[in-house]
A and B are shown apart, each in its own frame.
Chain A
Amino acid sequence: MASVQPLILRGRWLILALSLCFIVLSSIGLGQLYFRGDYRIFFAKDNPQLQAFEQMQLEFNKSDNILIGIAPRSGDVFTPEILQLVQEYTEAAWQTPYSIRVDSLSNFQHTTAEADDLVVADLVPNSQLSAAERLIIRDIAIAEPALVNRLVAADGKVTAINITVQLPEPTQQQQVTEIWSFVSDLSAQFAARYPNVEFHHTGIIALNYAFASEAEQDVRALVPIMLAAIMLMLAVLLRSIAGALATLLIIVVTVTSTLGIAGWLGLFMSTATVNVPTILMTLAVADSVHLLASMQFALADGKTKSQAIQYSLQRNWQPVVITSVTTAIGFLTLNFSEVPILRDLGNLTALGVMLACVFSLTLLPVLMQFLPLRAATIQQSSGTMARLSEWVIQRQRRLLWGFVLVTLLCTALLPLNRVNDEPNKYFASNTSFRQANDFMEQNLSGFTSIDFALNGGVAGAVNQPELLQALESFSNWLAEQPEVMHVNTLSDVLKRLNKNMHQDDLAFYRLPETAAEAAQYLLLYEMSLPFGLDLNNQLNIDKSATRLTATLYNLGSKELIALEQRALAYFAANWPDYQLSAASAALMFAYIGERNMASMLTTLPLALLLISALLLVSLRSWRLGLISIIPNLVPAVIGFGLWGLLVGEINLALSVVASMSLGIIVDDTVHFLSKYRHAREEGRDSEQAVRYAFHSVGRALCITTLVLVAGFSVLMFSGFRLNSDMGLLTSGIILIALLVDLFFLPACLLKLDKSGRTADVSPATTKHS
């Protein structure tokens, strides 16, 4: 590298031309980038829960939906005004793009026996209804198991319209946006006509849309904050506009070429990768700051600009390369994640970090040739650092044992963390998606559900009395579970039909006694149902299986999995002849957190091993290499320990924070230890070497940590909790890492690295070094 440095300056035009070519070529790829907000991007193709879910969607009709909650301020949905609204909205909802079904209070297919006829008709036939008729409708609705707590609240205060959509595969964001805009426009129109009614939108389409809109919000809000923060920090730290501009340029070309390459590779942007620019900005700024600060330092020493640039490259190329490689390794471990978009996040950031490294070592020096740079002003803080090092050396025992104690304590706190993935909770409580969900859960029905498919194995099995008995008992058992708000089941339909076939005699509100009766009632019923309101979402084509849906309170992933397992076990114990399978979007998220955590925990040691090996090689010392594990591991332990105490919930983004932050915090360790080793090699003892390390990199560590903490803190402003929690915990761990490097690492070195080669050097001479 030493011979390369002059080359960099001599070949500046070539470097400029090459960089420009590369940047332009890669940036063309930006045109191919597209966005996906579809929740399926969280799941790999071979994810077992996704496969179970898709299998069930193929067997029965799709269940992707958008649910519109209608809440009149009057607190009564059974007024002429609201019934008319529901009817008009239902009619209009059939125009929703990709819709295949609309279910509401008004078009519920109510069945009655009239003489020898089976009358199947809309529950709300028209809007000209007398008070008595409305009362009858209310009584029917509240007593109807298919409606109450699903499409109408038991207290009659809130009702809902459910639109089922069939999206073409692969789903594009545009289709989700189309559906969302249609429905929200519709609600806006009705809200204008019915000012005393509130509309809430939830369901899978609302979730998909929220993923996308929060990501867009992130880009719109966070990138400007990030840029402003960076400019502010650079102006303060470097006191040089030219330096700040050069850094900004490096950041911009790093981000655009990374995203451009992502486009060329056919990757898409998602809620996770949308923050690659923010993270890259943070990481890229550190390289430039190190290089520019050294240049300013050399200028202050009286060197010419060319000399200063050479000096800076010479001093920094190795730490910049090593820290970039370790950071990249940390992010590359995300490849072991179960979540495809987190893999993309890891790969893109790793790529960007290496690009930033190359640009900082080539383009930045060349740019600085052309730009003015001011010499550094006197560093007042070197005195502070000297005082700090003395303070640490004096209290080394107390610091050592204090940190050991804190680390042990935090290790004990680690089990307080519980893996929990609820799509609902991915959104901050001030987002409209979360508010709609919370409102609907409190007033009508939850967003979380599990679909169960009960399979009898042979065609027509669903009509057999034994299977229907099992279906009814299992549905009853489900409805009794405290987590369950509503069960939609075919056994309710058959009981109602049986009653209808017997002149609405309530004594016959029970299952038909023979398979022929059940089959023929269903034949009659199915022939009477209008377009879109058929039973194909509850029965498969040969009627060997039926699907029942349990709507639940918004549960944590542990509770959701527990309920699923309990239901499967209960069913298997009682009806071993039939098969029951469970699937839903919520279940997929519930399992992904656990699976992701497990895979990330197994890769953490691997990342630690790789990074430590790299440090061992670069520090050329077994002892220092082993000691370096302490400051690399302790911050994550303390960070997650405190998280366990204060928050206690780990979602899938947090499960990758440990390996990701490892790659970043290792930088500080590298800088500190390489200076320490340098001093030791010059023959100083460990105490003097600690002083030297403090003096030479203490300030730089504080500055870069400040930059990194600020950068990741910006993510905390995201309305998307996967991103904000990740920002909070990562910046916390980076800050803890600085404290560890300044207070714990020196204490460890003084304790564990005593056998100084020149232990007899007097303290007096070392003070001046």
Chain B
Amino acid sequence: MLVRQQQNTADTPRQSDRFGIASGWLLVASLLCMPLAQADAEKGLAIATEQKARDRGWGDSESELQMVLRTAQGRESVRRMRTLALEVQGDGDKSLTIFDEPLDVRGSAFLTHSHPTAEDDQWLYLPSVKRTRRIASRNKSGPFMASEFAYEDMTSFELEKFSFNYLRDEPCAELTCYVVEQTPTDSFSGYSKILVWVDQQHYRVMRAEYYDKKQSLLKILELSDYRQYLDKFWRAHKLSMQNQQTGKSTDLLLESIRFNTGRSAADFDVAALERAR
């Protein structure tokens, strides 16, 4: 033990020396590569812009979702909900989620007006007291329905919410992906960065790694069972979020989705909340 401890204490300064040298080199290297780094930021933004562009024009949708929460030992708990969504040109999307299960929250409805730069507006209607309450969306980093998804993981993707940096190409399943680093611009985000794997053919997100504020890997999201709708829009039917720190996981399953259901902005105002069932 004696030997081991001494080694440890002896190692620390050496390691930090090595780190010092390494970071010195890193600094030199980054100075030399400045134009390259900028190009990477541009490429990252270009990829994200294309990603956003490819998903433009879907109009409105209605989907049924199932959420399966799992503990580290594999015990499960299921939540069910329906989501109506409306694409808004020139602003963030609107969505209305109605909870079906567990039964004690049935009929609760969650309305979101997302905005690219301003804070999102959120309301929750509680049928038990027949009241609607606005939720301060600063706290968007907490778990959604006690799952491993945070509200901010599920809100509409807006370019203004991140700064981008292209890192590398990497094979993902049988495809090739761009690996892009997204850094949240909002200080109220729960993440320091998100690494996203976007396939080069269809610009679909295949995988994402979420890093917490202390730069540790927190969660890994894997998206699969992509199906194409309206000959254009790809939707993943299975999203698996695995918490790397607690071992818990959540599967978000898209059970059905329909487009062009004829919804309008009127279906997404606060008064509509109380009508939603």
* Interface-facing stretch out of A9-17, A339-347, A519-527, A731-739: A519-527
Q: Is A614 part of the contact surface with B, judged by Cβ < 8 Å?
A: no
Interface residues of B in 156-185 (CB under 8 A from A): none
Q: Is the CB of B5 within 8 A of A35?
A: yes
Q: Is A541 part of the contact surface with B, judged by Cβ < 8 Å?
A: yes
- B5: min CB distance to chain A, Å: 6
Interface residues of A in 200-235 (CB under 8 A from B): 215-216, 219
Query: Cβ of A118: which chain B residues have Cβ within 8 Å of it?
Result: 133-135
* Interface-facing stretch out of A94-102, A190-198, A287-295: A94-102
- A10: min CB distance to chain B, Å: 37
Q: Would you mind naming 14 contact pairs between A and B with Cβ atoms under 8 Å apart?
A: A31-B3, A98-B216, A109-B139, A121-B136, A259-B1, A516-B104, A518-B104, A520-B108, A520-B127, A524-B135, A527-B144, A529-B143, A531-B212, A531-B213
- A538: min CB distance to chain B, Å: 11
- B140: min CB distance to chain A, Å: 8
Given contacts A524-B135, A530-B138, contact A519 B102 (CB under 8 A): yes
Which residue of A96, A97, A99, A109 has the most chain B CB atoms within 10 A of its CB atom? Answer: A99
Q: Is A116 part of the contact surface with B, judged by Cβ < 8 Å?
A: yes
Q: Is B126 part of the contact surface with A, judged by Cβ < 8 Å?
A: yes
Q: Is the CB of A535 within 8 A of B146?
A: yes
Q: Is the CB of B75 within 8 A of A541?
A: yes
Q: Mark B73-84, 1 if CB is under 8 A from A, else 0.
A: 101110000000
Which residue of B103, B122, B133, B213 has the most chain A CB atoms within 10 A of its CB atom? Answer: B133
- B13: min CB distance to chain A, Å: 14
Q: Is the CB of B69 within 8 A of A527?
A: no
Interface residues of B in 3-19 (CB under 8 A from A): 3-5, 8
Query: Cβ of B248: which chain A residues have Cβ within 8 Å of it?
Result: 541
Q: Is the CB of B4 within 8 A of A530?
A: no
Q: Is the CB of B5 within 8 A of A520?
A: no
Q: Is B110 part of the contact surface with A, judged by Cβ < 8 Å?
A: yes
Residue of B nearest to A502 (CB): B129
Q: Is the CB of B4 within 8 A of A527?
A: no
Q: Is A33 part of the contact surface with B, judged by Cβ < 8 Å?
A: yes
Of the candidates A61, A516, A534, which one forms a contact with B128 in the assembled complex, judged by CB atoms under 8 Å apart?
Answer: A516
Q: Is A532 part of the contact surface with B, judged by Cβ < 8 Å?
A: yes
Given contacts A116-B132, A166-B246, A527-B144, contact A519 B104 (CB under 8 A): yes
Q: Is B155 part of the contact surface with A, judged by Cβ < 8 Å?
A: no
Once bound together, how far apart are the Cα atoms of A109 and B139, in whole Å?
A: 10
Q: Is B142 part of the contact surface with A, judged by Cβ < 8 Å?
A: yes
Q: Is B33 part of the contact surface with A, judged by Cβ < 8 Å?
A: no
Q: Is the CB of B128 within 8 A of A517?
A: yes
- B128: min CB distance to chain A, Å: 4
Q: Is B151 part of the contact surface with A, judged by Cβ < 8 Å?
A: yes
Q: Mark B192-220, 1 if CB is under 8 A from A, else 0.
A: 00000000000000000000111010000
Q: Is the CB of B129 within 8 A of A501?
A: yes
Query: Cβ of B143: which chain A residues have Cβ within 8 Å of it?
Result: 526, 529, 534, 536
Closest 8 CB pairs of A and B: A531-B190, A269-B1, A519-B104, A531-B141, A542-B77, A516-B128, A529-B142, A520-B126
Q: Is A515 part of the contact surface with B, judged by Cβ < 8 Å?
A: yes
Told that A460-B104, A534-B142 touch, could you supply 11 new A-B pairs with CB distance under 8 A?
A33-B4, A58-B73, A117-B134, A117-B136, A118-B133, A120-B139, A219-B1, A517-B128, A531-B150, A534-B146, A540-B71
Q: Is B31 part of the contact surface with A, judged by Cβ < 8 Å?
A: no
Once bound together, how far apart are the Cα atoms of A62 and B212, in whole Å?
A: 18
Q: Is the CB of B245 within 8 A of A166?
A: yes
Q: Is the CB of A523 within 8 A of B108?
A: yes
Q: Is B2 part of the contact surface with A, judged by Cβ < 8 Å?
A: yes
Query: Cβ of A274: which chain B residues have Cβ within 8 Å of it?
Result: 1
Once bound together, how far apart are the Cα atoms of A515 and B102, in whole Å?
A: 11
Given contacts A517-B129, A531-B141, contact A33 B3 (CB under 8 A): yes
Q: Is A384 part of the contact surface with B, judged by Cβ < 8 Å?
A: no
Q: Is the CB of B146 within 8 A of A527?
A: no
Query: Cβ of B1: which chain A residues have Cβ within 8 Å of it?
Result: 33-35, 215, 219, 259, 269, 274
Query: Cβ of A94: which chain B residues have Cβ within 8 Å of it?
Result: 213-214
Q: Is the CB of A530 within 8 A of B190?
A: yes
Q: Mark A478-492, 1 if CB is under 8 A from B, else 0.
A: 000000000000000
Once bound together, how far apart are the Cα atoms of A106 and B213, in whole Å?
A: 18
Q: Is A459 part of the contact surface with B, judged by Cβ < 8 Å?
A: yes
Using CB atoms and an 8 Å cutoff, list the residues of chain B in contact with chain A.
1-5, 8, 69-73, 75-77, 99, 102-105, 108, 110, 122, 124, 126-129, 131-136, 138-146, 150-151, 188, 190, 212-214, 216, 245-246, 248
Query: Cβ of B77: which chain A residues have Cβ within 8 Å of it?
Result: 459, 541-543
- A79: min CB distance to chain B, Å: 26
Query: Cβ of A215: which chain B residues have Cβ within 8 Å of it?
Result: 1
Interface residues of A in 254-293 (CB under 8 A from B): 259, 269, 274
Q: Is A249 part of the contact surface with B, judged by Cβ < 8 Å?
A: no
Q: Is A463 part of the contact surface with B, judged by Cβ < 8 Å?
A: yes
Query: Cβ of A534: which chain B residues have Cβ within 8 Å of it?
Result: 142-143, 146
Size band of the interface chain A makes with B: 35 or more
Query: Cβ of B150: which chain A residues have Cβ within 8 Å of it?
Result: 531
Q: Is the CB of B72 within 8 A of A58?
A: yes
Given contacts A31-B3, A59-B71, A529-B142, contact A516 B127 (CB under 8 A): yes
Residue of A nearest to B250 (CB): A541
Once bound together, how far apart are the Cα atoms of A94 and B124, in whole Å?
A: 29
Once bound together, how far apart are the Cα atoms of A501 and B144, in whole Å?
A: 21
Once bound together, how far apart are the Cα atoms of A527 and B124, in whole Å?
A: 9
Q: Is A241 part of the contact surface with B, judged by Cβ < 8 Å?
A: no
Q: Is the CB of B213 within 8 A of A95?
A: yes
Query: Cβ of B75: which chain A residues have Cβ within 8 Å of it?
Result: 541-542
Once bound together, how far apart are the Cα atoms of A530 and B140, in whole Å?
A: 6
Q: Is A123 part of the contact surface with B, judged by Cβ < 8 Å?
A: no
Once bound together, how far apart are the Cα atoms of A47 and B5, in whole Å?
A: 30
Residue of A nearest to B8 (CB): A174
Given contacts A166-B245, A524-B126, contact A519 B105 (CB under 8 A): yes
Q: Is the CB of A528 within 8 A of B136?
A: yes
Interface residues of A in 78-133 (CB under 8 A from B): 94-100, 109, 116-121
Given contacts A33-B3, A516-B104, A533-B142, contact A100 B245 (CB under 8 A): yes
Q: Is the CB of A526 within 8 A of B145?
A: yes
Query: Cβ of A514: which chain B residues have Cβ within 8 Å of it?
Result: 128
- A39: min CB distance to chain B, Å: 17
Once bound together, how far apart are the Cα atoms of A459 and B79, in whole Å?
A: 11
Once bound together, how far apart are the Cα atoms of A94 and B189, in whole Å?
A: 13
Query: Cβ of B3: which chain A residues have Cβ within 8 Å of it?
Result: 30-31, 33
Query: Cβ of A516: which chain B residues have Cβ within 8 Å of it?
Result: 104-105, 127-128
Of the candidates B71, B128, B133, which one forms a contact with A58 in the assembled complex, judged by CB atoms under 8 Å apart?
Answer: B71
Of the candidates A99, A216, A527, which one forms a contact with B142 in the assembled complex, judged by CB atoms under 8 Å apart?
Answer: A527
- B162: min CB distance to chain A, Å: 17
Q: Is the CB of B139 within 8 A of A219?
A: no
Interface residues of A in 535-582 (CB under 8 A from B): 535-536, 539-543
Query: Cβ of B246: which chain A residues have Cβ within 8 Å of it?
Result: 61-62, 100, 166
Residue of B nearest to A216 (CB): B5
- A349: min CB distance to chain B, Å: 15
Once bound together, how far apart are the Cα atoms of A41 and B212, in whole Å?
A: 31
Query: Cβ of A100: which chain B residues have Cβ within 8 Å of it?
Result: 245-246
Q: Is the CB of B105 within 8 A of A523?
A: yes
- A322: min CB distance to chain B, Å: 32
Once bound together, how far apart are the Cα atoms of A551 and B214, in whole Å?
A: 29
Residue of B nearest to A500 (CB): B133
Query: Cβ of A530: which chain B residues have Cβ within 8 Å of it?
Result: 138-142, 188, 190
- A11: min CB distance to chain B, Å: 33
Q: Mark A168-206, 1 if CB is under 8 A from B, else 0.
A: 000000100000000000000000000000000000000
Once bound together, how far apart are the Cα atoms of A166 and B245, in whole Å?
A: 7
- B38: min CB distance to chain A, Å: 29
Once bound together, how far apart are the Cα atoms of A541 and B250, in whole Å?
A: 11
- A47: min CB distance to chain B, Å: 19
Query: Cβ of A117: which chain B residues have Cβ within 8 Å of it?
Result: 133-134, 136
- A225: min CB distance to chain B, Å: 15
Given contacts A95-B214, A531-B150, contact A524 B124 (CB under 8 A): yes
